[in-house]
Structure 1
Amino acid sequence: MRPKSNMLRITIAPFLVLLLSISAFSWFAVSMADREVVVEGGEPSKAEVHIVYTEKPEGDEPEASHLRTLATVLGSEEAAKESLLYVYKNAATGFSAKLTPEQVAELSKQPGVLQVVPNMKLQLHSGPGRLHLT
């Protein structure tokens, strides 16, 4: 039988690795959220997350279609890959991406794009305190 101190070290090690990984990912996500984008011949604009609703691509992989649409606005496939955050395939068709106001205006004009809306965090108004049950 192993001594308790060795067992404790064995069980804590994976937990510490997980904690370190989560911390590193959080730092990366926060640093990416605050970046500024320079539009040609203009001042830096703050890129914010937007949800882009599109028509369902015919006979094409949704992600590839969305990357092409983004690339026409952002200027390159590399910039499109960097901007793309998530592809929606089930309940709605579209994607979320980091876009400046200028890019939103240009993307809204693209064929197949139905709507571009800013991502919003909503707070649920439920629970005992909100329903005045306490």
Structure 2
Amino acid sequence: MQKIHFFLFTIFLLFLTSRTATAADSSLSGAKVYIVYTEKPEGQEPEAYAIKTLSSVLGSEDAAKEALIYIYKYAANGFSAKLTPDQASQLSKMPGVLQVYPSRTLQLDPSPPGNMLV
């Protein structure tokens, strides 16, 4: 009898933890990495500027820090962050944001151009 109670209790706990994890991740459902190009932040560090910009869309500094992936500050100004399409759209309309693009991974074709077999 104790084994059945233990088994049912374990199933109940698994159910609860899966429901909690699903609720916590609901704000990130459909989220993917976006590259955000911005104007050069004047008088602010690039990371502080990125967090401030993301906070206005995500609602808090903690959410912005969690979503932030990388800061671009040498060849271009901006950052990459994990966002939903709706958040990316909101961000693209903000002052100082130039462009927002979904990140893509490209693969090189390992075959040589043309027929190089001799």
Any idea what the Cα deviations from partners look like across 1:68-120, whole Å, max 9, x if unmatched?
A: 00000000000000000000000100000000011011101111000000000
Q: Give matches, 1:66-105, under 5 Å.
A: 66-105=50-89
Q: Secondary structure at the match of 1:91?
A: coil
d(CA) in 1 for partners of 2:26, 2:80: 17
Q: Aligned residue for 1:113?
A: 97
Q: How many residues align?
A: 93
**What's the TM-score, normalizing by structure 2?**
0.73
**1:36 Cα offset (Å):** 4.5
Matches within 5 A, 1:1-134: 36-38=25-27, 45-125=29-109, 127=110, 129-131=111-113, 132-134=115-117
SS at structure 2 position matched to 1:46: coil
CA apart distance, 1:45: 2.9
Q: Report the aligned-residue RMSD.
A: 1.7
d(CA) in 2 for partners of 1:117, 1:69: 16
Give the AA of the match of 2:93.
K
Residues in 1 aligned to 2:30 and 2:75: alpha-carbon distance in whole angstroms? 29
Q: Which runs of 5+ in 1 are unaligned?
A: 1-34, 39-43
User: 1:123: Cα distance to partner?
Assistant: 1.4
- What residue is the counterpart of 1:28 in the other structure? none
Q: Which runs of 5+ in 2 are unaligned?
A: 1-23
Instruction: Give the structure-1-normalised TM-score.
Output: 0.65
| Alignment partners' CA distance in 2, 1:130 and 1:80 | 43
| Distance (Å, rounded) in 1 between the aligned partners of 2:57 and 2:97 | 12
Identical columns (%): 59
